[in-house]
Structure 1
């Protein structure tokens, strides 16, 4: 049986996005920018005003006729909760329609705990966060969940993520929805980060870009011609599992010579362990990926030659993977997001930009811009919050979310 047809982005959703990203804006300008009829614009705007999502903010200067009334988003009208699940840390974000963070909570990650007990704690954390905020709970449209992949989006489950092995096949989205009473939307953390970048205007001028996300692993959210690319089950962008050494060791994913084996945070930590054993590096390890990675980064930033060499190698392998990605999908912009880039991201950005300038196939035609995320360690959680806002307010399939 063929799959059901995808729903197209609605006129209402398109208009809401434009008001949010370009407002104050008049109805006439909306018609000019969308190509929709004045009647369609009027009907959609009337619905948005009725639902409190936008407001009229006064009249512009007259151009000879009746002055145009401007429209702006009403940020507090709807709120989304973003949840980024990680082994070391779990982050919660409450964001409004403007993408502004109105509440944040970061707690210990799920570690090796069983999913059922972790879900109970997550529901309690969300309740605690909301209790501390002066917000209208009726404005909350749902919870967006961001996790590492691979995912089964139809089942709302993680399927074999190396850092979250105990969660394989567990109905995460459905169980959290039951525990919290909120509708839950589920997606890859790198894809969520890419959506968050768009909502905060960090990709301005670029409609084809990639958000490279490095936390415990490495992934990438891909936007092509203004549209998030999901694939069948949101398992695109596994940059960390591109082969960079065909004769290399076998990765936990089943592939060989993967980028993560050479560039990922665990690879950095493993190299540091080896250096300590050989007396080349002096540091103690916590056993937590994020904390140990940051300790090694601090050493490198303070001039330790061995730590610096470890990161230089990591950056070279990551750059090699990104060059291959750029050659395949011809992006205009690469954004670096996630906790691993928070401390030492400038080194990675510099190396990646240099290698793209030297090796990208179309380098003579265009320069690929490389920049740091505006969201830092909150990129995936904030992206998850904006993901659920986008999903609930614009009646369109996640497989065809239009961002531009």
Structure 2
């Protein structure tokens, strides 16, 4: 109960930004004045919060404002994408302190983990912080995952990653605790932590990376699913007349909405000067960027390809929002910014047309405010979320033997 109440107070102070007095904490949390006094005293002693001036508000003693000490704790976020590895260092307030992007190429998992560990060490050293203040490392990885043991299981585009015990190997390489989270879920956690929207609201996060995925937030919590693999949408059919998919269907998200499939559509439409068909994550990324640049410059064929992709994605989003009944839709991921202008122009109308609740409400569609690093930032926020966010489930008695004398 004490740890839960401490999380309640820390979360209230963090979300207030400007800080709260003890009296305001009593009002905001519903805890007794004595409990607030005891916990804030302990937090002051631990350096997690600090007194930040006095304010006079009516009769009585001036109120002392308490604020979060951003540099008291840190977390590291790593986004493992087939194209790049992004590593960020966040302070406890969720601000990015350091950032680095590394192209790992087609190296084996052990070499990639060594790159991760070296980059993490460099960021911590560059920031000149004591490692004891780093709460842990969050890794956002493509699914499927075995979350119970932190293992990555044969993700698409990551060749050779067959049951790689990423959590254990990275923890051994860095000496820091590690949590492995699905990239789409991590991105949703990062979005929640930015405070964009009501804390108790719901939203669908659509992740645009080398692949396309989705995640769901309800009542401020990311829904992970029973195996922590929520959001595998690659084989939902969005174009029955589309290309054949390896799963046996036609027009799945995997062969219609991903950057590689969009590049293939652009090649077939004659957008590029040469007629070669490219493959490989880095070549696809370069070609995709070129396509988006041509669309931004007004190339009609390039615009048409991206508009068609937006229409297909709208089918997916409509299926999910009709089923999940969320308040809003957020899009993000490493490839989002390049298509955001056209997608935000096309998606809202298409989604409204396909929405089962269009006569009741409109579903707002927006881009993430975290930026391209939403996967890495979200992974670091997963670590902070475990430390700071209060959950009623933390109060459950998990082991009845604890009650025995």
**1:281 matches 2:260:** no
State yes or no: 1:46 paired with 2:41: yes
Contact 1:242 1:259 in 2 (8 A): yes
> Paired residue for 1:211, among 205, 208, 214?
205
2:12 to 9, 18, 23: 18
Q: In 2, Cα distance between the equivalents of 1:54 and 1:328?
A: 42
- Counterpart for residue 369 of structure 2: 374
Deviation at 1:104, TM superposition (A): 0.5
Of the structure 1 ranges 234-243 and 52-61, higher mean CA displacement relative to structure 2 is found in: 234-243
Residue 194 of structure 1 pairs with residue 188 of structure 2: yes
**Is the 2:98–2:127 Cα contact (8 Å) retained in structure 1?**
yes
Deviation per CA, 1:345-374: give whole Å up to 9, x if none: 121122221122222122232222211112
1:130 aligns with 2:124: yes
SS at match of 1:145: strand
Deviations 1:233-272 (A, max 9, x none): 2211223332324676664567764223211111101112
Q: 1:261 to 1:354 in 2, by over 3 A?
A: same
Q: Which runs of 5+ in 2 are unaligned?
A: 396-405
In structure 2, the CA distance between the partners of 1:9 and 1:197, relative to structure 1 (3 Å rule), is farther
2:148 counterpart SS class = coil
Residue range with higher mean Cα deviation, 251-260 or 174-183: 251-260
1:391 and 1:398 in contact (8 A); partners too: no
- Which residues of 2 match residues 10-159 of structure 1 at below 5 A? 10-23=4-17, 24-109=19-104, 111-159=105-153
Instruction: State the partner residue of 1:4.
Output: none
Kindly indicate whether the alpha-carbon contact (under 8 Å) linking 1:391 and 1:397 is maintained by their aligned counterparts in 2: no
Q: Structure 2 residue aligned with 1:239, among 226, 230, 233? A: 233
Q: The residue matched to 1:132 in structure 2 has which SS? A: helix
Q: Aligned to 2:294, which of 292, 299, 307?
A: 299
Q: CA deviation at 1:40?
A: 3.0
Residues in 2 aligned to 1:334 and 1:399: alpha-carbon distance in whole angstroms:
29
Residue 397 (structure 1) shift: 9.9
> Contact between 1:195 and 1:383, CA under 8 Å: does it hold in 2?
yes
Deviation at 1:108, TM superposition (A): 0.2
1:30: how far off? Answer: 2.3
Select which of 250, 254, 257 maps to 1:260. 254
Residues 281 and 306, structure 1, Cα contact 8 Å, conserved in 2 = no
Uncovered stretches (5+) of structure 1, i.e. residues with no partner: 1-6
Q: Report matched runs for 1:155-174 at 5 Å.
A: 155-174=149-168
Superposed displacement of residue 316, structure 1: 0.5
CA RMSD of the aligned region, Å?
A: 2.6
Separation in 1, partners of 2:90, 2:56: 33
Instruction: Give the Cα–Cα distance (whole angstroms) in 1 for the partners of residues 329 and 388 of structure 2.
Output: 28
Give the Å deviation of 1:36. Answer: 2.6
**What residue in structure 2 maps to residue 3 of structure 1?**
none
Compare 36-45 and 64-73 and name the one that shifted more. Answer: 36-45
| Mean Cα deviation higher: 370-379 or 60-69 | 60-69
Contact 2:84 2:103 in 1 (8 A): yes
Deviates more, 1:11-20 or 1:39-48: 39-48
**Deviation (angstroms), 1:206:** 6.4
Cα drift, residue 200 of structure 1 = 2.0
Distance 1:250 1:28, change over 3 A: farther
Whether the aligned pair in 2 keeps the contact of 1:9 and 1:396 (CA below 8 Å) is no
TM-score (norm 2): 0.88
The structure, 1 or 2, with the larger RCO (C-alpha pairs under 8 Å, 6+ apart) is 1
SS at match of 2:373: helix
- 1:272 and 2:266 matched: yes
Matched, 1:319 2:314: yes
- Taking the aligned partners of 1:250 and 1:68, their CA distance within structure 2 comes to 67
